[in-house]
Amino acid sequence: MGGGGGNDRLIHGSADAAQQQDFSKVDVKTTALGKNTYMLEGAGGNVTIAVGTNGVIMVDAQFAPMHDKLKAAIAQITKQPVAYLINTHYHGDHTGGNAAFAKEGAIIVAHQNVKNRLVNPPAGANGQTPPASPPEALPVSVFSDKTTIAVAGQSAQVIHIANAHTDGDSVVYFPEANVLAIGDQGGPDRYPNISAGGGIDGMIAGTEAFLKLGNAQTKIVPGHGPLATKADFQAYHDVLVKIRDRIVKLKAAGRTEDQAVAAKPLAPDIQAQQKQDDAASERVVRAVYQTSK
């Protein structure tokens, strides 16, 4: 799920959302990012693909019912199969397509905690625990810190970001194309979305880490929302720091979590700047209060 937008509750988890949404009406929009890389938007998290001469590296796979449409969109670009599917984290709007792509030969790559969470999912924002993923949907190539994946002509640096959106996040950098896919680390007009095992401090540190990759021209594909730049994410980082500082200040002054919420520390300026409402601000104050040191 994404970063604090109004749809987060709807798209959180997988089975619920998949039942609520009519995927037949969704079109996949393909945006060329240069050097045979593309961003695919449909329903669920954004997908990034890097096309080599003997296979495709894919980042995230949206909801399960999107598989055929994503496959068709990729077939418009290349005859090569998806060789690797990297999951940026375990949420169903990014991993729903795992089983179907794996069945067609894709090797699923993810941080070890993605596998753990898919096997033993925590309760979602609606309080319901989604079903465990079937074995065929699980990552078969797991890592703990970083790994590199390659097809002919493309490589992907997969780098773990600790305890940020979740406890199994990765960002994926494609050096040949200077494209960076960051999963649900946030973005312009969003609030930090802190889920299973995530935290505000990890999100800030993680943003600092991935901003060191590439250069000023790097194209950033966020988990949700439009294509972004490093300048966008430097600004987002600075908002994260402001959000944390205001809430930590209340915590340090001895306010309880409810008192911190009542103080509305993000209103009106940060809330307006990120185009968010009171309910979203309350969720962020609680999440930051609970996860900040």
Span 75-94, contacts to Zn ion by CB under 5 A: 91
d(C-alpha 42, C-alpha 24), whole Å: 11
Q: Which amino acid is at 4?
A: G
Q: How far is the CB of 92 from Zn ion (least distance, A)?
A: 9
Q: Which is nearer to Zn ion, 14 or 281 (CB)?
A: 14
Q: Which is nearer to Zn ion, 89 or 251 (CB)?
A: 89
* Preceding omega of 268 cis (within 30 degrees of 0): yes
Q: How far is the CB of 184 from Zn ion (least distance, A)?
A: 4
Q: What is the residue whose two structure tokens read 């050097």?
A: 35
Span 1-20, contacts to Zn ion by CB under 5 A: 1
Interface size with Zn ion, residues (CB under 5 A): 3
Is residue 232 within the footprint of Zn ion (CB under 5 A)?
no
Q: Which is nearer to Zn ion, 204 or 248 (CB)?
A: 204
Q: Which residues contact 237 (CB under 8 A, 6 or more apart)?
A: 204, 207, 208, 211
Q: How far is the CB of 273 from Zn ion (least distance, A)?
A: 22
Q: Which is nearer to Zn ion, 55 or 92 (CB)?
A: 92
Span 243-262, contacts to Zn ion by CB under 5 A: none
Is residue 110 within the footprint of Zn ion (CB under 5 A)?
no
Q: Which residues pair with 150 in a beta bridge?
A: 155
Is residue 160 within the footprint of Zn ion (CB under 5 A)?
no
Q: Tell me the two tokens of residue 24.
A: 């037949």
Q: How far is the CB of 250 from Zn ion (least distance, A)?
A: 27
Span 169-228, contacts to Zn ion by CB under 5 A: 184
Q: How far is CA 10 from CA 7, 30, 97, 228, 244, in A?
A: 5, 24, 18, 24, 26
Q: Give me the helix-helix angle, 200-210 and 278-291, nearest 10°.
A: 90
Of the candidates 163, 176, 128, 148, the residue with the CA atom closest to the CA atom of residue 287: 163
Strands of 146-151's sheet in order across: 146-151, 154-161, 169-174, 179-183, 219-222
Q: Which is nearer to Zn ion, 89 or 246 (CB)?
A: 89
Q: How far is the CB of 52 from Zn ion (least distance, A)?
A: 27
Q: Which is nearer to Zn ion, 91 or 237 (CB)?
A: 91
Q: How far is the CB of 35 from Zn ion (least distance, A)?
A: 27
Q: How far is CA 125 from CA 97, 115, 262, 283, in A?
A: 21, 20, 21, 11
Is residue 47 within the footprint of Zn ion (CB under 5 A)?
no
Q: How far is the CB of 58 from Zn ion (least distance, A)?
A: 17
Is residue 167 within the footprint of Zn ion (CB under 5 A)?
no
What is the contact surface with Zn ion in residues (CB under 5 A)? 1, 91, 184
